[in-house]
Amino acid sequence: MMERPSRISIKPMITPINVVLGIILAIGCVLTVLRFTGGLSVVTNLDDNNPWGIWIGFDLLCGVALAAGGYTTSSACYIFGLKRYHSAVRPAILTAFLGYALVVLALHYDVGRPWRLPFPIFWQQGTTSLLFEVGLCVFLYLTVLFVEFTPAAFEWLGFPKLREKIVKLTILLTILGVVLSTLHQSSLGALYTIVPSKLHPLWYSGYLPVYFFISSMFAGLSMVLFEGSLAHKYMHDKMDETHLRESEGIVLGFGKAASFIMAGYVAIKVIGLSVDNNWHYLFTGYGAWFLLELIGFVALPAFVYAIGVREKNIRLIQRTAVWTVLGIILNRFNISLIAFNWHLPSAERYFPGWMEIAVSLFIVAIGIVIYRFVTTHMPILYEHPDYRSDH
């Protein structure tokens, strides 16, 4: 094995980021104990009218949408044959795997009896439930992502034979991944098709599953761009030349893809307005909020992406990625929290407590720590010298 002295970084342990992460992790541990000994009421503001809070709205809905980079990138590379995105696949698979693992972890906090989470899959299947569909797909997809991720681990641990076997399955796993992603990304939206009486008409639509699926595509692409820019900033020394050389092309290509998909998304949102004849709601307070989401956080970033692509402005594209990600979070929050139960008087509405927010941050922090560990130890941002060019 070749020596890579340049990639072994000696970073000071006490940096501001590490201190903040440490504090969040410490608080999170305390809250974990509280949650599992005192019940949900100790740490959350949930009540009988508002059974789902930010642990569903952020951790589940946003988590899954933002982890969509895994299937978008791997399908671009392996199915659509855009080989020049190859160096983006591994980091995307890693973040997707981490993302989904964290979503499942977060669900353990949210559901009343987490030890029963396997029940719907192995014990008694509620086949009419879209949540069953989501659960089944997330379970299967987590497995697929895990298998897709193992080659990196095998390279790190030095099991070339096993790695070889998995690599042979790449295309099968990719297709399965896209099927499962299509299903659960859209089913997350379809969860809300059962509540036309609770979700504001501007957000309720028979197309909800399609909206969720399409928005997951540009969410995933934008997230890959965002992570890429972060990784370049903090993990530059871990990247090899292929990664650095290809990254500019990736940024332009993904920016272009995201921009056009977003345009399509705006189009189908408008179609949704028209099909349900919801125009008159646009002139209410919720309408303004809806337009802010659709124009301010989808149409505009799509346009700015386009400018970035035309002018080959990498920084602009990366900033727009953050903007788009915020837009996705806004959309999921609108559907799960803000436009949900809109008919209830404000006193009966939900607002997250600081402990709920802290637990969500705790879970994100765990993700960052694991990401850093994996990218410093496994061949994610660079190709392993023993396996160069053949994966």
Partner 1 sequence: MEIFYSLQEFMTYSKGITYLIMGAILILMPLYWLFLTDRDEKKETY
Partner 2 sequence: MGISRRKFLGWFGGLSATAATAASTAIAGGNHHFEGHPDTMGVLHDINRCIGCRKCEEACNTVNELPKPEKPFDDLSVLDQKRRTHADVYTVVNQFKIGNEKKHVHVKKQCNHCMEPACASACFVKAFKKMPNGSVVYDESVCVGCRYCMIACPFNIPAYEYDNAFSPKVTKCTLCYPRVQKGLLPGCVEACPKEALIYGNRKELIKIARERINKHPDQYIDHIYGEHEMGGTSWLYISGTPFSEIGMREDLGVTSAPELTSGPLSAVPIVVGLWPVLLTGIYAISKRKDKVAEEEKAEAVKAAENAADEEMKKQIAKIKQDAAKDKEAAIKREVKNALDEAAKEAEEKAKAAAELTETADAAPEKKEDE
Q: How many CA atoms lie within 13 A of 308 on its CB side?
A: 27
172 contributes a contact to partner 1 by CB under 8 A = yes
- How many chain residues touch partner 1 (CB under 8 A)? 14
* Among the residue ranges 5-13, 146-154, 202-210, 286-294, the one whose residues contact partner 2 (CB under 8 A): 202-210
Residue closer to partner 1 (CB basis): 106 or 136: 136
351 contributes a contact to partner 2 by CB under 8 A = no
Rounded distance between C-alpha atoms, residue 246 and residue 82, angstroms: 12
Residue closer to partner 1 (CB basis): 169 or 369: 169
Interaction with partner 1 in 136-165: which residues (CB under 8 A)?
136
Could you tell me the maximum CA-CA distance found in the chain, to the nearest angstrom?
67
129, amino acid identity = S
Q: Which of 270, 160, 145, 289 is nearest to 220 (CA)?
A: 145
Q: How many CA atoms lie within 13 A of 40 on its CB side?
A: 20
Q: Work out whether the CA dihedral 270, 274, 276, 279 comes out positive or negative.
A: positive
Tell the smallest beta-carbon distance from residue 136 to partner 1 (Å).
8
Which tokens belong to 107? Answer: 């669900």
Tell the smallest beta-carbon distance from residue 305 to partner 2 (Å).
10
168 contributes a contact to partner 1 by CB under 8 A = yes
Rounded distance between C-alpha atoms, residue 35 and residue 321, angstroms: 34
* Among the residue ranges 3-11, 78-86, 161-169, 350-358, the one whose residues contact partner 2 (CB under 8 A): 78-86
140 contributes a contact to partner 2 by CB under 8 A = no
Interaction with partner 2 in 248-277: which residues (CB under 8 A)?
253-254, 256-257, 259-261, 264, 268, 275
108 contributes a contact to partner 2 by CB under 8 A = no
41 contributes a contact to partner 1 by CB under 8 A = no
Which tokens belong to 345? Answer: 């008087």
168 binds, among partner 1, partner 2, none (CB under 5 to 8 A by kind): partner 1
183, amino acid identity = L
Rounded distance between C-alpha atoms, residue 54 and residue 62, angstroms: 10
Residues making contact with partner 1 (CB under 8 A): 125-128, 136, 167-168, 170-172, 176, 179, 390-391
